[in-house]
Chains A and B, each alone.
Chain A
Amino acid sequence: MKHPAPRRSAVANAVYALLNPIPFGFFVAALIFDGVYAKTGTILWAKGAAWLITLGLLLAIVPRLVNLTQVWITSRRFGSSADHIDFWLNVVAIVAAILNALVHTRDAYGIMPAGLWLSIVTVLLTAIGHVLIAVHYSTVREIAHD
């Protein structure tokens, strides 16, 4: 099996595999909370979303740095276009999440509707990245088996 491209460090791969799903989960939960708050105005959900976005961003730091290093430095020569697109989707998603964390410091319903839109953007972009990578490496594996 020639592919997937050998990423340099098994440790980096393991760290990435462990940490990368966490922010995605947090942002999905934040989206659900924002949806409930937008609909009900019950403040618990807005406060929950604020924590989820902030913590999601903090937990994204390490996996994003690993990804940056792997895509553009250590595995540059083996990097596929899917890796590159995934990287940029995540950059925009993180920018949206940072804006969203600031929007979520507003009081009460001042968060809406911007907070909900930014949560949708964050989740959508990250999700597309995940799907692209999954599809890409499934295809690659099939080729390798032939």
Chain B
Amino acid sequence: MTKALQPAAFALTCVMVLAGCAGKSEQNAADQVGGDPSLPKARNFLLPPMQVPRFVGWKEGATPTVAQGLRIEKIAGDLKHPRQLLTLPNGDVLVVEANGPGEEAVTTPKQLIAGMVKNTSGKGAKGGDRITLLRKTGTGEWEKHTYIEHLHSPFGVQLIGSTLYVANTDAIVTFPYTEGATRVDAPGTEFTDLPSTVNHHWTKALQANGDGSKLYVGVGSNSNITENGMEVEYRRANVLEVDVASRGSRIYASGIRNPTGLQWDATTNTLWAIANERDEIGNDLVPDYMTSVKEGAFYGWPYSYYGQHVDTRVKPQRPDMVQKAISPDYALGSHVAALGFLLSRQNALPAQYQNGAFVSEHGSWDRSPLSGYAVVFVPFQDGKPAGKPQTLVSGFYSRDEKELYGAPVGVVFDKEGALLIADDVGDAVWRVTAASP
């Protein structure tokens, strides 16, 4: 290298150092769960924190790790991106297999690169666009039947009476339900349409209320933080309430960036949601959360987070909206990517897992070290979260955080009260029971 080129080399080194300065989280993760998470100052980066383990899948016989007193077994494999689960009255279990519809146009250089990164983790694999039925046989094995095919990126599924409601990314469709059938050949009927431009966040969570008169739909935002323009955010980042009799819908609560799981607490008649919060302003911002959903409430997105912490990336700023924003009930930790949600009064797991919420955390890509990649239990008291989350299932990535085996999504109890977990990276369904019954 000639002498004259040395300043150029120096300048380049400076750029690389600057670009790599995002660094690791210095926050104690335990300070970011519960009712009052500590929030550091928001930062802008040249390169935001990013850490993506490489997909390798489960080796033969390998399983996730469970907490003491629990046992885990695989009840189904070779699925196509299993995401959500539903236990039917006769004990059969529906497995919704899907991934994003891939309809989002590439409109920035960043999206090109982000797509490649996502694919290395196995989270970008093609979904089955179908529902598989699992049935336990006399010998304890689980049979696999292809139940419904040719869906369009389905996610939520609910049974009301003899009608099965499936939330595709663009519409709720219905199918006639016959108990004991292992296949539905009747074509789906469109019940009501759902917001489906862009579908940046494509999942449509679905939950019926106690008497089956309403369906609640979790509709995610069309961007991280309005970078696709406000016009595509019409009716996004909210929970819609669909009246089952009239099929009409209205916004039940808004400003929830990506409500990926909904549950109905029948004892208090309250709707609950888990939500994924915004990215790229730090390893420890913003914690994903679990909250009771108050009718008509505004939870901040995009203008603010966790109540009235203003996000400066939104233009124009809306102080009037920030003033309306309320805080969610319970923080789950930053970037854990909560994707599966289940409230349970009673189940067949040990005593410490009764009465509370099970949340499966799909795992981070924009945090270092990794967070999530676990199923946790949050104990409830008097219908409200009380206490820290306890990890039930983990071990979805290698100790050095380089390799990814699986990632938990939908959680449900089967008829015997065992916890079933859909794993959309390992393409399996896991069953967790008490070690000694």
Contacts and interface: CB of A to CB of B under 8 A. Distances in A.
B116 interface: no
A126 B45 CA distance: 26
Interface string A115-133: 0000000000000000000
Majority secondary structure, B binding face: loop
A78 to B, nearest CB: 16
Nearest to B2: A72
A91 B227 CA distance: 31
Given A99-B18, A102-B19, A107-B223, A54 B109 contact: yes
A33 to B, nearest CB: 13
A106 B313 contact: yes
Given A95-B12, A99-B15, A102-B47, A108 B109 contact: no
B134 to A, nearest CB: 40
Given A54-B109, A72-B2, A106 B15 contact: no
A41 B280 contact: no
Contacts of B47: 102, 105
B11 A99 contact: no
Interface in A37-60: 41-44, 46-47, 50-51, 54
B95 to A, nearest CB: 34
A12 interface: no
A51 B109 contact: yes
A71 to B, nearest CB: 9
Contact of B108 (A41, A50, A91, A98): A50
A108 B15 contact: no
Interface residues of B, number: 33
B313 A109 contact: yes
Nearest to A103: B46
A44 B15 contact: no
A61 interface: no
A95 B108 contact: no
A132 B142 CA distance: 78
A88 B5 CA distance: 10
Given A54-B109, A91-B11, A103-B46, A108 B314 contact: yes
A7 B225 CA distance: 51
Interface in B17-46: 18-19, 44-46
A51 B108 contact: yes
A110 interface: yes
A42 B225 CA distance: 14
Majority secondary structure, A binding face: helix
B315 interface: yes
B46 A95 contact: no
Interface in B109-155: 109-110
Interface string B364-394: 0000000000000000000000000000000
B85 to A, nearest CB: 33
A5 interface: no
B18 A44 contact: no
A43 B227 contact: yes
B77 interface: no
A62 interface: no
Contacts of B19: 102
Contacts of B46: 99, 102-103
A110 to B, nearest CB: 4
B62 interface: no
Contacts of A46: 227
A46 B422 CA distance: 39
- Greatest chain A CB density within 10 A among B2, B8, B228 is at B8
A5 to B, nearest CB: 17
B437 interface: no
A42 B230 CA distance: 9
B223 A47 contact: no
Interface string B299-336: 00000000000001111100000000000000000000
9 nearest CB pairs, A to B: A41-B315, A109-B315, A107-B227, A110-B313, A102-B46, A105-B110, A43-B229, A108-B227, A54-B109
10 contacts: A44-B229, A72-B5, A105-B108, A106-B45, A106-B280, A107-B280, A108-B225, A108-B314, A112-B315, A114-B44
Given A107-B226, A107-B227, A110-B280, 6 more contacts: A47-B108, A50-B109, A104-B109, A106-B313, A110-B44, A110-B281
